[in-house]
Structure 1
C-alpha cells in the first residue's frame, strides 16, 4: 500500500492538528463549565453538572467504539471497510439508546428530579449522535486524516458552546440546556460526513469482520466506561455516594474537580486515538515513548499540584466569591490525581496498540472499581473523595505497566 499525502507527516503534522483542535475544544468546554455556574442557582448547577457528567460518562463509554475503529482502520485503495463500520455504528447507536431508556427508571428520577423525562431523552439523543461521531472519527484517525479529525473535534465544540450559551443566557431552564448539550453530537457528525464522507467510503479498510469488531469492542467499550466513571462520571458518583457532606461542600467538590483536573486529563483523553495509531505503527519505540511521556507528565503534575495549593483557592474565590470553598490542600490532591489519571491515558493506548484488549480493560476496570469502592469506605467524606481520586489510577497504571514491561519491543501491532 502506498503512502498517502496525509500519512507522510503522521507524527509532527498529525500531532499539530490534533493538539490544536484539542486546545480549541477543551477551551470551549472549559468555558462552558466555568461560566454556567454563574447563571444557575446552586441546586440548578448540581442538576446540570450531574447531567453533563452522565452525558460524558456515556460518551466516554462509547469512545471505546472509536478506539476499536481506530485500531482496525487503515487507508487502502479498495475502500471496502465503510459498510462494516456503518453497521457497526448502527448497532451501537440503537443499543446505547435502548440501554439508557430501559435503565432510566432506576436512576433518572433520583439524579435528574423533575427534569428526568426531558433529560433522559436528551441523553439518548446524545448517545446516538456520539456513536456516529466515534465511528467517523475512528475511521479518520485510522486513515490518518488529521484535518478531518480536527474538524470533527472543533465543530462539535463550537456548536455546543453556541447552543449552551444561548440556553443559559436566555434562562431557558435545565431541560433545554440539557438538549443544548446533546444535539451538537449529531449535528457535528452530519456536517463532517458531508465534508469527509466520500473520502472515508473510498479509502478506509478494516482488519476484522463485523462480528470480530463487535466482540473486541466490548472490551474497549468496557475500558472506556471505566474511564468515564473515573473522569466524566465523578460528579454523578459524588451525587449518589453516601458522603455525608452538605450541599455546599458537594457543589464545591464538583466544581473544583471539574475545573482543576480538566487541563491535564482532557487533552490526553482527546489524544487517545492518536496515541493508539502512533504506537501501533511504531511498536519498536512504544516502550521508550511511554516512559518518556509518562515521566514528563508526572513532572508537570508535581509542579501544578504545588501551585494549586496557592493559586486554586484564589482563582475560585475571584470567580465565584465564597459560594465554592475547599481546603487548599485538597486542590493539590485533586491536581495530583489528574496527573495519575492522565498517566493511564498514556499506558492504555500502549496496551491497546499491541492488541492486548483484555489487559487494556483490566487496567481501567481495576482503577474504576478501586475508585468507586473507596467512595463507600466509612471515613470522612472529603478525605474519602481525595483518596478515591488518587488510589484508583495508581492501581490501573500498575496493571498496564506489567503488560507493557512484558511486551517485546519489536512486536507488531
Structure 2
C-alpha cells in the first residue's frame, strides 16, 4: 500500500472519528439529558447491528482481493447480490421481530425507530459491500471518500437539526442517513462503479456461508466493543459497588478505547488486503501490524497512567475519580482488544472463518466470566479487558498456524 493511499485513508478515518464525536456532542447539547438518553440508545442499537454487518465488509474484501490474484471459478459469486440479499433479510428480520424487543429498548418513537433501524441496516449492507469491494480492489481513494462522506452526511445533518430545531426525531434520522453515502459515490465515481460488481473467488454458497460466519464473529466483536459498558453495569448490579466508581470506570473504558479502536475499525479493509497478499506467510505478515499496535498501546498506557486521573476529574467532573494505575490498565486492555482485531483480520484473510468466529466468541465469554471475579470493579474490569482478548488471540493464532502448515509444506516441495 503506497504512502499516499495510507494518508488518504488515515485522513478519512480522522474525519469519521471527529465527526462521530461532534454529532454526539451536538445531540447532547441540543436534546438535554432525557432526549439524549433516547437518542443514545438508538445510536447504540444501530451500532450493534451494523457492527455485526462489518462481517460483510470483511468477507467481501477477502473474496474480491483473492479473486484478483487467482482465476475465479466459473461459478464464482457476485458478492453484491449476496450482500444485498443479506441486507434485505436483516432489515425484514428487524421489523418482524420488533414486537418482541422494541418495547424494552425504545421508550419513545418506537415504531419510527424500528422503521429507521430496518431501512438503515438494509442500506448499510450495500455500504459494507462497496467498502469491501473497494478495499479488495485496492481503490483506496474511493474508499477514503466513502468513509468521509458517510461521516460528514451525519455531521451536516446534526448541524441542520440544531439550526432548524428538528429535535429528537431529526437526530434519529441522521443516525442512519449516512449509510446512503454509497448512492452518492456510485453516481460520482467511475472507480466505485467498476468495483461494485467485481466477482469473488468462491461459489455463491461458500461466499454466503463465509459471510454469515464473519457476521457472527463481528456480532461478538460488537458485544465486546460497544456492549462492554453494559456488561460492566450488569455484573456490578448485585455487588456493593459505588455507583460513582462504576460510572467512572465505564467512562474511562470508553475513552481509552477510542484512540486505537476507532481508526483500526476503519482500517479493517486495509489489514485484510495486506494479509490476503501475504497469506503464504500469515504469521510473518502479522509482525508489523502487531508491533505497531503494541507500541501505540504501551505509550498510551503510560500517558493514561500519568494524566488519566487528572483528565477525568478536570474535564468530566470531580466525581470521576480513578487511580492512574487503573486507567493505565484499561488502556492496555484496549490494546489487547486491538490486537485481537488484527489477528481476526488475518484469520479472515487466510479463510479461517470458523477460527475467526471462535476467537471472538471465546474472548467475549472469557471477558464476561472474568467480570464475575470477586474483586473491586476497577480490578475485575482491567482483568477482563486484558484476559478475554488474550484468550481470543490464542484461538486465532492456532487457526493461523494450522492454515500456514500446508503452505509451508508446499513451499518446500
Distance in 1 (alpha carbons) for counterparts of 2:38 and 2:330: 22
Query: In 2, are the aligned partners of 1:30 and 1:262 still within 8 Å (CA)?
Result: no
CA distance in 1, matches of 2:391, 2:326: 21
Determine whether 1:194 maps to 2:190. Answer: no
How large is the RMSD of aligned CA atoms in angstroms? Answer: 3.1
Structure 1, unaligned runs of 5 or more: 1-9
Distance of aligned partners of 1:120 and 1:85 in 2 relative to their CA distance in 1, 3 Å threshold: same
CA apart distance, 1:287: 1.8
How do residues 6-405 of structure 1 correspond to structure 2 at under 5 angstroms?
10-33=1-24, 36-73=27-64, 74-75=67-68, 84-167=78-161, 172-186=166-180, 188-196=181-189, 197-200=192-195, 204-238=198-232, 243=237, 251-322=247-318, 324-375=320-371, 380-405=376-401
Aligned CA distance change for structure 1 residues 84 and 283 (closer, same or farther; 3 Å):
closer
Determine the C-alpha separation between the residues in 2 that align with 1:159 and 1:102.
29
In structure 2, distance between residues paired with 1:340 and 1:106: 36
Q: Deviations over 1:144-199 (max 9, x none)?
A: 1111111110100111112234435766444431221111112x011112123532
> Partner of 2:404: helix, strand, or coil?
coil
Change (3 A) 1:348 1:258: same
Partner of 1:5: none
Q: How many residues end up aligned between the 2 structures?
A: 400
Question: What residue number does 1:6 align with?
Answer: none
> Structure 2 vs 1, CA of residues 107 and 278 (structure 1 numbering), >3 Å: closer, same or farther?
same
**Residues 279-335 of structure 1: CA distance to partner in whole angstroms, max 9, x if unpaired?**
111234532231232133223212211211332333344433346554544322321
Once residues 167 and 247 of structure 1 are traced to their aligned partners in structure 2, the CA distance between those partners, rounded to angstroms, is: 34
**Distance (Å, rounded) in 2 between the aligned partners of 1:201 and 1:262:** 30
Measured after TM superposition, the shift of residue 97 of structure 1 is: 1.3
Give the TM-score of the pair, scaled to structure 1.
Answer: 0.85
C-alpha change, 1:323 and 1:59, in structure 2 (3 Å) is farther
- 1:134 offset after TM fit, Å? 0.4
Show structure 2 runs of 5+ residues with no match.
Answer: none
Question: How far apart are residue 226 of structure 1 and its match?
Answer: 1.1
Supply the distance in 2 between the matched residues of 1:255 and 1:201 (Cα, whole angstroms).
Answer: 39
What's the secondary structure of 1:131's corresponding residue?
Answer: helix
Offset, 1:366? 0.9
Most deviating of 352-361 and 278-287: 278-287
User: Secondary structure of the equivalent of 1:283?
Assistant: coil
2:107 counterpart SS class: helix
Does 132-141 or 28-37 show the bigger shift? 28-37
Post-superposition shift, 1:95?
A: 1.8
TM-score normalized by the length of structure 2:
0.85
Report if the CA contact (8 A) 2:31-2:168 is conserved: no
Post-superposition offset of 1:125: 2.5
Displacement of 1:22: 1.3
Distance 1:304 1:292, change over 3 A: same
Rounded to whole Å, the distance in 2 between the matches of 1:83 and 1:293 is 31
Q: Give the 3-state SS of the residue equivalent to 1:113 in structure 2.
A: coil
Q: Bigger CA drift: 351-360 or 326-335?
A: 326-335
- Cα distance between partner residues in 2 of 1:310 and 1:341: 22
User: Cα offset for 1:219?
Assistant: 1.0
Residues 198 and 289 (structure 1), Cα distance of their counterparts in 2 relative to 1, 3 Å cut? closer
